[in-house]
Structure 1
Amino acid sequence: MGESTTGSTGISPAAFQRAPGVADWRVTATGPQAVFIAESLADAAGLVAPVVAAAERCGILPDIDVRPEGVIVRVPPRDPQGIPARAPEFAALVSQAASERHLAADPSRIQSIGVYVAEHSRADARPFFLAALGYDALGDTDAADPLRSGPQLAFNPISGDVAGRGRTHFDVFVPADQARSRVDAALSAGGRLADDSHAPMWWSLASPDNHGVDIASWTDTYDG
């Protein structure tokens, strides 16, 4: 991959996953992510200072979500050239700090959720959603929460559609080693397999009343 705007070389999700010390981490649509389970808010908050120290050491700008149940640490996508080259080093330092504090990693809880807004081919729904949600435009077709706490939206036209009707579905990005179990759980809960022709990159599911959900795992293994 090319030279990033910060002067370092970006790496792919697969290259990140091959690095040493990142077994706790997976890559979703919102970048490398780890979830560390805690028994109290104080225990969870104890990981914040080590994460900040690791971030300053490695030149990373992470997102830290602290809850009584645990801590979510992400390296959000800030550079089109890829994941920062020092992200694996940062991830390893955070995992080490979590282990020292007896905060166990739980990769099964890693995920990011996007909303795929399908719109009539002659409509432009993005300005409405930007205004209604207070989101920022992202690229030519997407929208994102400026604080990265809400789901990212993608806008794409429906081909052969009917004017006045939009169809929207959720994209749920999970680790590659968790995708099949998530699909099976959704099917056991009454879902229907709409399309598995792209599996194991993603499965298209439908709820009992045909609301769409794509379970996607390709971001965890992409090596482009």
Structure 2
Amino acid sequence: MRDPITAKQFHDADGIDDWRVVSGGASAVYRVSSFSEGVGFAVLIASIADELDHHPDVDLRARSVTIRTSTHSAKSLTEMDVALAQRIQLAARDLELVADPSAVQTIMIAIDTVTPDAVMPFWKAALGYTSRRVNEFVDPKRRGPLVWFNGIESFTPGRNRLHVDVSVPHDLAEARVAAALEAGGRLLGDTYAPAWWSLIDAEGNVVDIATWRGRGDD
């Protein structure tokens, strides 16, 4: 049950319609009518997680509950994530909670550097982050954005050395790109779409809208 699976295998499973794979795991966001209702749902999620011995990250807010099947231990999606997602979705259905896939996303700050070993200790100390993978830091509380260091051979004059990656549900990415363009952005490149679209604002700052698709091993 803990064998690694791909994002496509996760989405091909039954009973996970409310869930979307984004960078770092699979997530679902459910709207609740009150904080108390959200607490009750969170307690139910905890009971399911304890029963399966597979624990997600849960973010409880006044009008929503966000669940992420964290990959901080397994380093990838597994069959247990499918089992957990199915059980949580079934519980949400019983409570008549409505999922909002458009609210699912993760943020990553990408820093271009010629000498990663020279700058990474600085950012690790300044942010209070810990290492997760090679050239990647994570908030130990798993609340802040991921930070990734992109090793490059040389800098291009006039090009930003820092950009933001926004990982969104694969079926909502093009709508997010269209919204950014309508809001004044320009398309910098879509060579790697649907893995990511690069957009640029009016002052030259870059954001990548990314999904799990188009990355070879889906």
TM-score normalised by length of structure 1: 0.89
Paired position in structure 1 for 2:70: 76
Structure 1 residues 24 and 220 mapped into 2: Cα distance closer, same or farther (>3 Å)?
farther
CA shift for structure 1 position 207:
1.0
State the distance in 2 between where 1:96 and 1:105 align.
12
CA shift for structure 1 position 8:
2.8
Paired position in structure 2 for 1:119: 113
In 2, are the aligned partners of 1:15 and 1:223 still within 8 Å (CA)? Answer: no
Q: Runs of 5+ in structure 1 lacking a partner?
A: 1-6
Paired position in structure 2 for 1:66: 60
Partner residue of 1:101 out of 88, 95, 103: 95
State the distance in 2 between where 1:101 and 1:51 align.
12
The CA RMSD measured in Å over matched residues stands at 2.2
CA shift for structure 1 position 70:
0.3
Matched residue SS, 2:112? strand
1:152-174 CA-to-partner distances (Å, cap 9, x unmatched) read: 100123333169x9710001000
Paired position in structure 2 for 1:139: 133
Partner residue of 2:15 out of 8, 18, 21: 21
**Aligned residue type for 1:79:** A
CA shift for structure 1 position 27:
0.6
Q: Runs of 5+ in structure 2 lacking a partner?
A: none
Structure 1 residues 56 and 123 mapped into 2: Cα distance closer, same or farther (>3 Å)?
closer
With 48-57 and 16-25 compared, the bigger mean Cα shift is at 48-57
CA shift for structure 1 position 18:
0.9
With 51-60 and 113-122 compared, the bigger mean Cα shift is at 113-122
How many aligned positions are there? 216
Partner residue of 2:151 out of 131, 153, 157: 157
Partner residue of 1:178 out of 172, 176, 179: 172
1:194 paired to 2:188: yes
Paired position in structure 2 for 1:3: none
